[in-house]
Structure 1
């Protein structure tokens, strides 16, 4: 997936356009790989598929290698090209988003590991409905965040921020439900705790997708919206200079 926003093409000098396009292609490839990792980890859990869980774990090294190569490329761009304005924001944002992608890989690996343990234990599937629901939400969030990054679409990035708030509420509700179930049936505590860890990883994946969306807004609008309420972010995006 290449950079699609004409505003970016207008601001990028021809001297390092090729370098940035190359690292962007690798960044988007990593994003696509992690979309699949998240989906596979969730399916491994829901379908009790040990083989799929192992495949997710085996790809962790590929994710780590991508992250390292992207970081190295961005460092070279900074050293050689000395970008400014939107070019510099693009490099900084991609570096931060690259870290979020690697951490999404870590969370996917955790889910796959738990899926493998639950498959081997042949235990209760209590909480899987919540995992399916929240899993679908964060998969969409990640896809939308990466698409917003590719197109530099601040409005779509804002929608990801709103979706993350919804996911947080769903996560809190699911956690309360499962805690109640453990109290009612202590025999299932071990299995349900594992599912709670899955839900936690899914919630963290949603947070990382939000972080990527925040970087899109930083590139396009030039301001940092971390630790800012969604209403304030919307006001800044729509403010007429």
Structure 2
């Protein structure tokens, strides 16, 4: 009876922690979408909201870490359950970093308003951010459903984010060489592109945690393909 009670308490505590993870994930998805929209529309008010709302993401990460620490200390989970608790903390850390990158994107909006505009760049960055947001949504679904196949699919989709970044990087170099007035705005735009690419890396890390929970091991290097070449016809700014 006592063992059943402990297991029931663990499951209840874990359910609460995972509810907070989903809340945090929802806030981060919203931050990505709003930050990219504020960039495309040069909407300083929306950008400021993204920056202010990041505090809620940070607080949730702290709460999740505290809950997981108590869960481990009080419930003494067995190997499988301990794996879940540890994965939750790592997922929370990755979500917090994605939120920071979204906040940094929003910070650039006010700066870019006063600089020469690079045709098509803001729209291309918004499309890239949208792909990252969709990946994150699927990564969270994979976690809830314990779907390792979907998680592996996310690892493969990160290739497209890398290709989009590489294409944008080369486009920005071209714009800077064509007109020195483009150097400053393109540097800021490149910073945003790199941050968005890093968001994708953190989404991939979340997917890896799903695989760890379901299969009991991290994916090997073959499951994390990387490549530097790209098809420029797929990712023009226009």
TM-score where L is the length of structure 1 = 0.87
Structure 2 counterparts to residues 39-118 of structure 1, below 5 A: 39-118=33-112
Tell me the distance in 2 between the aligned counterparts of 1:129 and 1:108.
16
Q: Which runs of 5+ in 2 are unaligned?
A: 1-5, 226-238
How far apart, in 2, do the equivalents of 1:223 and 1:98 lie? Answer: 19
**Maintained 8 Å contact 2:101/2:196:** yes
Q: Is contact 2:34–2:46 with CA below 8 Å preserved after alignment? A: yes
Secondary structure (helix, strand or coil) at the match of 1:229 reads helix
Correspondence for 1:236: none
1:124 equivalent among 117, 129, 132: 117
Figure out how many residues of one structure are paired with residues of the other and give that number.
219
**Superposition deviation, residue 180 in structure 1:** 1.4
Task: Point out the more displaced range, 95-104 or 164-173.
Answer: 164-173
Matches of residues 148-187 of structure 1 in structure 2 within 5 Å? 148-187=142-181
1:59 is paired with a residue whose SS is helix
Structure 1 runs, 4 residues or longer, greater than 2 Å off = none
TM-score normalised by L of structure 2: 0.88
Structure-2 change in CA distance of 1:89 and 1:217 (3 Å): same
Partners of 2:118 and 2:182 within 8 A in 1: no
Deviation at 1:181, TM superposition (A): 1.2
2:20 corresponding residue in structure 1 = 26
Alignment of 1:216-227 (within 5 A): 216-225=210-219
Q: Could you tell me how far 1:228 is from its partner in structure 2?
A: 1.6
